[in-house]
Amino acid sequence: MAKGIFISFEGPDGAGKTSVLQKILPSLKQGFGNEVLVTREPGGVSIAESIRDLILDIKHTNMDDKTELLLYIAARRQHLVERILPALEKGSLVLADRFIDSSVAYQGYGRGLDTAAVTWLNDFATDGLKPDLTLYFDVDSEIGLARIEQNKDREVNRLDLEKLEMHQRVRSGYLKLAAEHPDRIVTIDASRPLDEVAAEALLIIQQRCLKN
């Protein structure tokens, strides 16, 4: 395989995308062996993980919205050049827990920043790279937040402290992105049991990306 496959997992808080990724990972490794990279945003590499700690620290409730966006973009760039691109060049399957769409949904629609500007910054940071496939796990905001409240093992970060209205705007943004990019973004109903959601996600990946 001359070029790797890049798949991003997106969704509002509490959608369960990370749980789905971990559940289907063994099946995906059967086809790719050790050539599977699982990573996350913000984070994935040392510099980006440090930025993640800064962004999500619950003490930083006074962070300016544009500062937040620019920190995410900086983390994305470092993550891309240090980890994602080398893996794709090797022909690996790259599975990213969040990527460019998160910035548009959260900082664009959620925070009310100019979505065109957010998109431009994404393109600048990634040199226009888009995932081959994006799985968007959709769930009602109330359900997502209730799941977070029930999951005592999950880290509580600054975004979890946002009001319901913010999370609803984020979800609305994701749905608009899915409608605008139907060739790349596939929407999955994440309100169902984990096993059902994971089975559908795996089938979509197999049909769209792993035909050979």
Question: Which CATH number characterizes residue 68's domain?
Answer: 3.40.50.300
Question: How many domains is the chain built from?
Answer: 1
Tell me the residue length of the chain. 212
**Cβ-based neighbours of 109, under 8 Å, separated by 6 or more:** 115, 169, 170, 172, 173, 174, 176
**Cβ-based neighbours of 123, under 8 Å, separated by 6 or more:** none
pTM for the predicted model, two decimal places: 0.93
Residue 155 DSSP code: P
- Count CB-CB contacts under 10 A for residue 163: 8
Burial class (CB in 10 A: 0-12, 13-18, 19+), 92: buried
Q: Phi first, then psi: what are they for 115, rounded to 5°?
A: -65, -30
**pLDDT(209) > 60:** yes
Which residue type sits at 57? D
Instruction: Give pLDDT tens digits for 19-61.
Output: 999 999 999 998 777 699 999 999 999 999 999 999 998 899 8
Instruction: Give pLDDT tens digits for 149-194.
Output: 887 666 667 776 778 999 999 999 999 999 999 999 999 999 999 9
Q: 167: domain range?
A: 5-208
